[in-house]
Amino acid sequence: MQAGWRIGSLFGIPLFVDSSWFVIVLLFTVANRQDYSQWGPNLSWIAGLAIALLLFASVLLHELGHSLVAQSQGIRVNSITLFLFGGVASIDQESKTPGQAFQVAIAGPLVSFSLFFILNLIVQFLPTSSLIYSLIQELARINLVLGIFNLIPGLPLDGGQVLKAIIWKLTRDRFTGVRWAAKTGQFLGILAISLGLSAVLFAKSYGGLWIALIGWFVLQNAGSYNRLTDLQEALVKIKAVDTMTREFRVVDADLTLRQFADEYLIGVDVVPVYFAASNGRYRGLVSVEALRIIERSQWDIQKLHQIIQPLNELITVSEKASLVEVINAMEEKELRRITVLSPAGAVAGMIDRGDVVRSVANYLKVPISEASIRSIKEEGIYPPGLPLVTLAKTMISSYRNPPES
């Protein structure tokens, strides 16, 4: 569910404000009213509030720049939210090429710089002693600072997205681009925290707290980009053949239902997956559920091949399929497990959700107990106490199409 309050929409994009936005608007109003005290107490408060609201209107236009370019690439924009540190556009998926990613990233700063030039042009026609002149001149300066600040080359800032696109283009690897931009963001975040706290401790400048807070925000988000990229890389690079297990059994398709039940089902606590084969070829998946609804008087007459689900009707993936494709297929069809086929069309293995979790955890060197894996396998659900998988499920829904190099 989207946090905050919905205030409308633009170009089909829902607009939200976070509760922290009201705090920063109040602080900006109080801080800016002093600059307009010459126009009296009432007008100074109005001017302070106006410049705070116009600041966030500029932020909104900045985010709208990113969003409209993303929409032009066929990417869905879920929302734009205004909050303590400005604004954020929730874009459904990554651009498919570095060139397109660059376009989305640079669009926001270009909007800010355009507003700066337009507002500077407008003030040329206003009397310099008027309140509206001061407001527009200040708004122009804010947009210039907004554009320059966002071009700092570190994630999550736009400059970090630009850097990511450039490195992606040079290395032909999106993950390398994200990692370099994220590391730069982490360095800049630590630097901002250090400078901000130093200003407070040694210069008694409490404005340094704001710099430190921004640095903390950058540091946290850059780290999140790194972790998400690790997960994305795992899901793209791990293949079905690396994840599958051979936890299935092959039985003769010409067995009667009675023979199958007596030999393979009686005394079994957990029924494994059975595939029926004849003449050296796989025929299909044995439906144990179908067996249960057939009259027992027919068990000596009917054979397994009469209740199998043919192989060509199963949801399957190839051995070379990425884990993204595997999970998408399982999520879309709500499958507990999926069949993996070899290039020759034979059953090569099975993948269930426990196998997915184990494979990703091993790739990322994240410790996970066999008890958790077993719980996922038996229940067919993801445990709420496993943040890695919660993140994976969230990411999968917005990562349907891996970007191209």
299: DSSP letter: T
Q: Are 159 and 146 spatial neighbours (Cβ–Cβ below 8 Å)?
A: no
Phi, psi of 160 (to 5 degrees): -65, -40
Q: What is the CA radius of gyration of the chain?
A: 29
Q: Are 208 and 199 spatial neighbours (Cβ–Cβ below 8 Å)?
A: yes
CA distances from 354 to 176, 318, 327, 350, 400 (A): 29, 19, 12, 11, 21
* Token duo for residue 191: 């630097």
Among left, alpha and beta (phi > 0; psi -120 to 50; other), residue 95 is beta
* Token duo for residue 56: 């966030």
**63 carries an active-site annotation:** yes
Beta strands in 267-336 (DSSP E): 273-278, 281-286, 308-310, 316-318
CA dihedral of 403, 186, 163, 177, whole degrees rounded to 10:
-40
* Token duo for residue 234: 């795992």
- The two counts, helices (H) then strands (E), for the chain are 14, 11
* Token duo for residue 335: 């499958």
Q: Which residue blocks in 124-256 are alpha helix, DSSP H?
A: 131-150, 158-171, 174-203, 208-237, 240-243
Closest by alpha carbon to 323, among 290, 267, 363?
Answer: 363
Catalytic residue among 63, 94, 233, 325: 63
Whether the bond between 156 and the residue before it is cis, its omega within 30 degrees of 0, is yes
Pairing assessment for the beta strands 281-286 and 5-10 based on DSSP bridges: unpaired
Residues whose CB falls within 8 Å of the CB of residue 346, separated by 6 or more in sequence, listed in order: 282
Q: Which residue blocks in 307-347 are alpha helix, DSSP H?
A: 323-332
Q: Chain-centre distance of CA 244, in angstroms?
A: 25
Among left, alpha and beta (phi > 0; psi -120 to 50; other), residue 380 is left
End-to-end CA distance of the chain: 33
Query: Which residues does the annotation mark as catalytic?
Result: 63
